[in-house]
A = this chain, B = another copy of it.
């Protein structure tokens, strides 16, 4: 069930069987969320944190005029609002972009982990640090990359993250997201995203149809994006 979380953590450090057992024990309540509904709402003070088992979710903020910016994409194996455990009040919402299987963990149980399991605590901390590293990379992409490079970079990132949790088949992965949503991820208009996408398609580096992305030329895509996966911390070492 929560093997995707193990995959996520274990590509960064070794997890003992006891630690896995603890995680299994506290990740008790499972459910599903329909596409388009909030997993956590802005301003909420949840008593639980949510782990995504399957599906895509997004963190987002709304401006007063109704425009939206998505600040993170969360996939299977992501502890999507672990940070609410310590931040308490949600300063943003979390939205299911597709139907999502989730599991929730009581904050009381997480607290117990921090009291008794230092290594596991560090691993969970690390998981939130990885999210922050992704945020920084997005800031770079938004501030200094061309729209084409920004989009290419996102595809590279998703490809790497999804392969860690076994969601990549060959050179393809499911990406059940409309162009409107993707525009809100990249901070551009739908029209411009559409043209940027077609420019990438025209270069023959990827295809995107039926909610599935296939990478045709990884080297070229990576070159367009100037993609360097260091920030994803996919190194297994003692933490």
Contact = CB atoms under 8 A, between A and B. Distances in A.
Nearest to A183: B143
Interface in A130-146: 130-133, 135-140, 142-145
A140 B139 CA distance: 10
A129 interface: yes
A212 interface: no
A230 interface: yes
Interface string A119-130: 001100110111
A135 B139 contact: yes
Contact of A142 (B64, B131, B143): B143
A203 interface: no
A169 interface: no
15 contacts: A63-B226, A64-B226, A67-B144, A69-B144, A87-B129, A87-B133, A88-B239, A91-B133, A91-B136, A91-B231, A91-B233, A92-B136, A114-B121, A125-B125, A139-B187
Interface string A96-129: 0000000000000000001100100110011011
Contacts of A187: 139, 142-144
A219 to B, nearest CB: 15
B126 A87 contact: yes
A235 interface: yes
Interface of A: 43, 59, 61, 63-64, 67-69, 71-72, 83, 86-89, 91-92, 114-115, 118, 121-122, 125-126, 128-133, 135-140, 142-145, 184, 186-188, 226, 228, 230-231, 233, 235, 237, 239
Contacts of A125: 86, 121, 125, 128
A61 B136 contact: yes
A94 to B, nearest CB: 12
Contacts of A92: 136, 231
A53 B151 CA distance: 39
Contact of A186 (B118, B143, B228, B230): B143
